[in-house]
Amino acid sequence: MGAPDVDVTASTEWWRGLNQAKATTRPASEAEPLIAEHLRWYPKADTALLARAYAVADHLHREQKRKSGEPFIIHPLAVATILAELGLDTATLVAALLHDTVEDTPFSLAHLAAEFGTEVGVMVDGVTKVDRSMYGSAAAGETFRKMVVAARDDLRVLLIKLADRVHNLRTLQFQPPHKRVKIARGTRELLIPLAERLGVYKLKRELEDLCFEYLETEEFERTRECAALVRGRARPETEALTVALRDSLAAFRVKADVEVRPRHLASVFHSGAPLAALDPQATVRYLVVVRGEERNAYLALGAVHGRWQPVPAKFRDFIASPKYNLYRALHTTVLTDTGHRVQIIICDNRAQQVSEYGIIAEIHERTGRDGRLAAGGTTDPEWLTRLLRWQEGASAEELLEGVRTDLADSITVLTADGVVLMLPEGSTPVDVAYALDNEIGDRFSAATVNGRLALPSAQVREGDTVQIITKAEPGPDRAWLESVRTGKARVAIGAWHRTRDRERAEVAGRRRMADSMGGDRSLIEAESSGDMISVARRAGYATLEEYYVAMGYGQIDPADAPARPAPAPPREGTDTEQA
């Protein structure tokens, strides 16, 4: 939806209504649940600011409707409420209420920043789409680029985007079928991995189930029915296992809370277990939250393994080796007395908050009772820093393709020098080389994986040690593009070859021009006198190099050059004159 054609300066009524909205201090009844939820987290928050932001958004969107026919304001209000339920600060909720105003109304970013502050303006600008009329088919990629660049200054931009997509998916039934599929697929490819990278599993799980419902509707319904059925049948066993788990912890004098968590439907379906023979314990997880120090988690693990037989291949220690998104916990799967496999997750209270909220847990800790986030900003996650390094040189298409792979499931590999790298699954030694440095990637010659020579296209695996062998001169193979996985490698290889192709085209174009003018001497004289740069500019090129490149690519015929310099006349005594 584009901004309506409104003459803002001439619309006295529009400005009067806006000024009245800006003067609001008491919340409208529709905004009261949002404010109540925010006060639950932050008792001294500025409720007048939230009321004013809602009133302004309500006024600006007053003539707009959603696909459902409902007033548009329900969308920004829902987005702000989702974020309030996660415990976000006041400025984030204000930005969420106003996040569509710059894109869909005459309210400018300058107006918004002046009224609500630069902090809110940065967040709103970060989630505002680029002008499709300017970028055309590249608009989606450029919008994503704009968002991740804004996230460098404020990660809350990404949280607003995730909440925005959650509400859009909740109401996706009002969109036509082809658009439902497009939105759900885009969410699965980009935003769900983004939620995982931020560690916001509370949103990730809902997004996964909503996409599952629209992309695999029949499987979703069957999974929901089967999961509900087996959970009901297994309730007595689940309750007995919960009691046994508590008794085992008490025997080890471990103070902990035990909770049974249903697995969300997408997780159940994609676990690989056939629905017809679904293990009831595969539909739940047992969460043990230890009290006191984090090391008590290992005491709890001893209690669990002392009671039931562990499955060795299913044990993961994310405390000793935390995940990239701050997640810290012990994961173990044990065999019960009835032969069922049961997954148990053990962590402390803070890690449990992080496992639900990810980066938001850090924001909680830095937000006062007044709902204001302390200055300083959150630390950029490693994956975002890596993405920001290579995205500038990528086209919109390369950016989206690279992000899809870079945000996919990751593995950790080591270099021979002990450098730890996080790469997408399926990465190759060439990806490793470019992850270290573009120059190393350009000069890649060979690699060993765990001491054995490996092909450039070979896939590295979790925990592999990779040694890169380089050559003196750079020269990446274009064929590597068929096997590399990281956006950084793909963009760097493409850029190197585009530069070489351009250099060759410039030489070829200059050669064609020289031939058409009777030789190099004539061209050199025309270049020295400035005649050639005039020719290039009349043809619409800013530099002579760009003109030659276009000619080298066959986009210009030397004979069609505008006001082309005449070939130099032959000098006296030359073979031409004597002939």
Q: What is the rounded distance in angstroms from the CA atom of residue 536 to the CA atom of residue 548?
A: 9
Distance CA 530, CA 513 (A): 15
Which residue bears the tokens 């996919």? 408
Task: Tell me the one-letter amino acid at 494.
Answer: G
Nearby residues of 352 by Cβ (< 8 Å), 6 or more positions away: 287, 289
Which of 177, 234, 166 is closest to 200 using CA atoms?
166
Return d(Cα 285, Cα 201) in angstroms, integer. 15
Annotated catalytic residue, options 58, 89, 104, 206: 104
| 543: Cα within 13 Å, side-chain hemisphere | 4
Q: Residues in the chain, how many?
A: 579
Question: Residue 27: in which H helix or E strand, if any?
Answer: none
* Element (DSSP H or E) covering residue 151: helix 139-153
Helix locations, 469-519, DSSP H: 487-516
The verdict on whether 103 is a catalytic residue reads: yes
For the stretch 84-100, what's the b/e string if a residue is b when 16 or more beta carbons lie within 10 angstroms of its beta carbon? Answer: bebbbbbbbbbbbbbbb
Burial class of residue 4 in the structure, from the number of CB atoms within 10 Å of its CB (0-12 exposed, 13-18 middle, 19+ buried): exposed
CA pair distance 360, 369, nearest whole angstrom: 16
Residues forming beta bridges with residue 356, ordered by sequence position: none
Q: Distance between CA atoms of 82 and 453, rounded to whole angstroms?
A: 51
Q: How far is CA 65 from CA 17, 62, 75, 172, 485, in A?
A: 19, 8, 10, 15, 42
CA 248 – CA 253 distance, rounded (Å)? 9
- The pair of structure tokens assigned to 117 is 């502050």
Instruction: Report the DSSP pairing between strands 465-470 and 410-415.
Output: parallel
Give the list of residues 6+ apart from residue 432 with CB closer than 8 angstroms, or none: 413, 415, 421, 423, 447, 460, 466, 468
Q: Residue 1 to residues 66, 157, 381, 510: CA-CA distances in angstroms?
A: 10, 21, 33, 48
How large is the C-alpha radius of gyration of the chain?
Answer: 31
> Whose CA is closest to 487, among 435, 419, 551?
435
The verdict on whether 575 is a catalytic residue reads no
* Catalytic choice (32, 46, 103, 425): 103
- Unique residue bearing structure tokens 């607003």: 160
- Judge contact between 438 and 487, C-beta under 8 A: no
**Tokens representing 285?**
């997880």
Catalytic residue numbers read 103-104
